[in-house]
A and B are shown apart, each in its own frame.
Chain A
């Protein structure tokens, strides 16, 4: 009986919903917290029924400064899947070798503070909202004229589509470019490797291993050396210490 009810529910939502392709212009600073190297990307948010998929495609390739400069994207700026019906968010992560996998996360856990400030972005009347999310402060401009609780990346849960999004240091700047109708079929990733908590624990383990390794290699045979390696870890979603 439960199964039948669930089927009817999904069917009704799909019948009433549009298939939307929302395009954002994304400027992301690859050197966040360490300097600046901004690159432009195009962000796509595809919505079909209760499912959505957000991903970015770089408009400008990363230019390494030298042969030792290798870009690894260990964060989740790239791909996020959401199932509204089940309240599930899955993001794509990558390990230190660049191998990707999926991590489940909570849907819109941020607590938005909606302000009284309003502004027009093109023809859309937008309202300012702020939140703190995993170590960074975000400022969003959303519009109730497009009543979709979605936004770029993991951001959403507001009573309207997020039109502009940026963090307070302007490392990530996302601006709505267009909304169009487009037929598409979306599906959530079938293999999820970790929950968010497990993934954070894995990163901590890795970090400890790197630090131990650096400490060990700095002793060696040199008895007069007093050098100590400093390992700094930068993550877009900051890891609680």
Chain B
């Protein structure tokens, strides 16, 4: 007994001096036996915070140390799954209180009930694939797959619906592993209901060709949408219809049928509320073999804030005030044999845009040369397009794949434009432009994997023909130039036929640390033109009949290419690529022969799957697009028709891009930094497209673009502010030197843009988003006066979700797009679930729009401010159901 007492005293002394105050005792069951594994917690009587805790030992004893000092009352709670919870209140100033006390627990009559926790892992990184669980990202604003993808960290979506992940362009969007839409994947992302998607898989190192995945680090990204099992093996879909008193309407349909052997998707949309269901997808079918658009403008860059939610009624903008768009697409993937799969797609669009706008343009060519024009415009653009694709793939699952694509497309465009102008120009103009294009393309790929090497034979042949008819009726008086140059009728017709053939043989291989590719490529293009024109002017000028002119161009090249990638160089991946070839370009009787080449040096240091440092330096001599160079006969003989360029010679260009990015999906943080510089000289001769008042002018143009861009962005979830905080800083500068007919001009500009946003993630019913952008730009146009400009825009979004079945959002946005005008707007969205598969929504656009908006355009030789009157205001009530 003395031994026990001695020990107790020792503990008490230690407890009060070194370990704080302590509690100890023992726990017994009703039979007087010790109870092990009892959880003991200590907290203040007025707080739920646990101050100290302990677990009872096998002999039932417990010891809780480090109790806080002070005189406040404490609750000691004893919990065990087999015994009833017991609480004892003690005063904290009594050290060693429970010592010697035995606390008896009463047995529970009920055992622990079974517990099932419902939740899912939102994101999972698996080898080179990131899997997002769609359920974790769906909210009331997510309707279509594109809305869902915008919520996933790392994705960005451009206005045409093109996707990129971590700054890399997404190649394809697959449905359960099958490619139904080819590159027109916006048809899927903009139409398929997000509710049908179970998981979004982002495949890094994606390749179309299964065999290529084993021999190539592609650095490309593909997205696979895994359809939820409840939408499989049955026909399901969604219907939506809406109307507003402003005569706005929306009708939308999407259906899906997924089985193991066949997949079908069907979409349709008819609306005049600026919902673009196809995202200009036709463009990707019109892309011809070997043609890649390149950055040409030296003064492009974020010099103008693009108003995110306002649709500007500018010419060429599809969706302005009175659009009426019909789109329909059907696509399928069908396993027709053991190893053969047939994919098909047919899409039709009828887009109509009517725009009645008043605008005013203040154009400043230089300090002395300024002119002001007031315009009243009526525009009606209508575009009908039809695209069809049949794709056959034979893949036996072994070492040979055959893929054949047959693509048909046709587009008819009709554009009516009338304009009355006053001010510096007195003008009355009525234009009617009709365009048409039909094309057929066959793409054949054979892939053989032998001895760890992949041999690919690619053949791409096609024919397309285009015609363009333009008639213009006009009276015009240009005050600025003091020209009396009225004319009354102008007709221009151009027909173009193109045949092309591209053949490629390529071998890819890979060892542990080495990846290589080599091959040859040859391309032949023949373009035939037929033009016809007539100008009927007011007296005293005589009519000018251009007559029929036929001409053609031909292009042939033979190129050798190689690529070598080495892993483990400076703890990263180093790649060198090169392509060299001989090109012949003939326009009529003139033949140009030259050597073209392209080279690249790249270094990639993968910090993790989604974090990397990339460096890329490219050099180049040559062109991608020969369609823009016209035969001499057309330029000199019919300048009226063509704004064409004459081929001179290819120039050398080079550029450097450095990017570092980190996307930590689990911590919900990502950042990226980039730097790029480019030097691109070009030399052309051409004929200026001319109105009769100017006559036909020729020029020789040499221009040199120099660009430097740098940016940094960061976005992350911060617990302290209970939300997501983000910021972006971007700087760009450019210099554009041009020599036109020996007159040299130098323009330069620099812009700094800072964006910031905060999206709250409170647990309550109310949340908000604040976004703001500030831009400062300065520039000097053609040795003119230095121009400085501040612009900003901000938006505040209030989101209210008082219960699961109701959601509403109100967006107040303001834009100062030039020095003269601030525009405010108010948008609304509210949705109410009426049942499991029925929903009512109210969408309001520009509810408080205040009238005019100024848009600023910066061109190499001029800058202009254009004002618009906005009337795009509506309140649309829609009903949506799923079946």
Interface residues of A (CB under 8 A from B): 8-9, 12-13, 16-18, 20, 25, 27, 29, 35-40, 50, 60, 63, 65-66, 68, 84-87, 114, 116, 118, 121-122, 124, 127, 144, 146-149, 157-160, 163, 170, 173, 175-181
Q: Which residues of A contact B48 (CB under 8 A)?
A: 118
- CB contact under 8 A between A68 and B112, given known A35-B609, A84-B58, A114-B50: no
Other 20 A-B pairs with CB < 8 A, given A13-B35, A147-B38: A9-B59, A16-B29, A16-B107, A17-B37, A35-B606, A36-B609, A37-B125, A37-B127, A39-B126, A68-B512, A84-B58, A127-B50, A146-B81, A146-B112, A149-B37, A163-B117, A173-B666, A176-B117, A177-B117, A178-B115
A9 touches which of B33, B114, B126, B609 (Cβ 8 Å): B33
Q: Are B58 and A66 in contact (CB under 8 A)?
A: no
> Quick one: CB contact mask for B834-877 with A, threshold 8 Å, 1 for yes?
00000000000000000000000000000000000000000000
Complex Cα distance A39/B748, Å? 53
Q: Which residues of A contact B35 (CB under 8 A)?
A: 13, 16
Q: Which residues of A contact B118 (CB under 8 A)?
A: 122
Complex Cα distance A77/B530, Å? 75
B55 interface residue (CB < 8 Å to A): yes
Q: Which residues of B contact A85 (CB under 8 A)?
A: 36, 58
Q: Are B667 and A12 in contact (CB under 8 A)?
A: no
Q: Which residues of A contact B53 (CB under 8 A)?
A: 114, 158-159
Q: Are A175 and B37 in contact (CB under 8 A)?
A: no
Closest CB in chain A relative to B604 CB, distance in Å: 14
Within 8 A of A (CB), among B55-84: 55, 57-59, 77, 79-83
Complex Cα distance A45/B81, Å? 16
> Quick one: CB contact mask for B291-335 with A, threshold 8 Å, 1 for yes?
000000000000000000000000000000000000000000000
Give the residue among B34, B54, B112, B609 with the most A Cβ atoms within 10 A: B112
Within 8 A of A (CB), among B111-128: 111-112, 114-119, 121, 124-127
Q: Which residues of B contact A13 (CB under 8 A)?
A: 35-37
Q: Which residues of A contact B609 (CB under 8 A)?
A: 35-36
The contact sample of 12 A-B pairs, CB cut-off 8 A, is: A12-B29, A16-B29, A16-B35, A18-B111, A122-B117, A124-B117, A147-B39, A158-B39, A175-B117, A176-B115, A178-B115, A181-B112
- CB contact under 8 A between A121 and B119, given known A12-B31, A84-B58, A114-B53: yes
Q: Which residues of A contact B49 (CB under 8 A)?
A: 114, 116
Complex Cα distance A159/B78, Å? 9
Q: Which residues of B contact A40 (CB under 8 A)?
A: 121, 124
B41 interface residue (CB < 8 Å to A): yes
Closest residue of chain A to B47 (Cβ to Cβ) is: A116
- CB contact under 8 A between A170 and B126, given known A118-B48, A178-B115, A181-B111: no
Closest residue of chain B to A26 (Cβ to Cβ) is: B121
Closest CB in chain B relative to A9 CB, distance in Å: 6
B367 interface residue (CB < 8 Å to A): no
Interface residues of B (CB under 8 A from A): 29, 31, 33-41, 48-50, 53-55, 57-59, 77, 79-83, 85, 107, 111-112, 114-119, 121, 124-127, 512, 606, 608-610, 666-667
Q: Which residues of B contact A118 (CB under 8 A)?
A: 48
Q: Which residues of B contact A17 (CB under 8 A)?
A: 37, 81-82
Closest residue of chain B to A159 (Cβ to Cβ) is: B39
Q: Which residues of B contact A147 (CB under 8 A)?
A: 38-39, 79-81, 85
Closest residue of chain A to B51 (Cβ to Cβ) is: A114
Q: Which residues of A contact B116 (CB under 8 A)?
A: 177-179
Q: Which residues of B contact A27 (CB under 8 A)?
A: 121, 124
Q: Are A173 and B114 in contact (CB under 8 A)?
A: no
Closest CB in chain A relative to B322 CB, distance in Å: 51
Q: Which residues of B contact A84 (CB under 8 A)?
A: 36-37, 58
A12 touches which of B33, B41, B126, B606 (Cβ 8 Å): B33
Closest CB in chain B relative to A81 CB, distance in Å: 16
Give the residue among B36, B79, B606, B610 with the most A Cβ atoms within 10 A: B36
Complex Cα distance A121/B126, Å? 26
Complex Cα distance A63/B58, Å? 45
Complex Cα distance A148/B79, Å? 9
Complex Cα distance A63/B129, Å? 12
Complex Cα distance A35/B119, Å? 26
Closest CB in chain B relative to A47 CB, distance in Å: 9
Q: Are B81 and A159 in contact (CB under 8 A)?
A: no
- CB contact under 8 A between A66 and B117, given known A9-B58, A12-B33, A159-B40: no
Q: Which residues of A contact B40 (CB under 8 A)?
A: 159
Closest CB in chain A relative to B590 CB, distance in Å: 54
Q: Are A181 and B114 in contact (CB under 8 A)?
A: yes
Closest residue of chain B to A34 (Cβ to Cβ) is: B608
Closest CB in chain A relative to B120 CB, distance in Å: 8
Q: Which residues of A contact B50 (CB under 8 A)?
A: 114, 127, 144, 159
Closest CB in chain B relative to A79 CB, distance in Å: 21
Closest CB in chain B relative to A109 CB, distance in Å: 14
Closest residue of chain B to A35 (Cβ to Cβ) is: B608
Q: Are A146 and B55 in contact (CB under 8 A)?
A: no
Q: Are A50 and B37 in contact (CB under 8 A)?
A: yes
Complex Cα distance A224/B35, Å? 72
Closest CB in chain A relative to B18 CB, distance in Å: 16
Q: Are B115 and A179 in contact (CB under 8 A)?
A: yes
Q: Are A8 and B117 in contact (CB under 8 A)?
A: no
Complex Cα distance A147/B77, Å? 11
Closest CB in chain A relative to B42 CB, distance in Å: 10
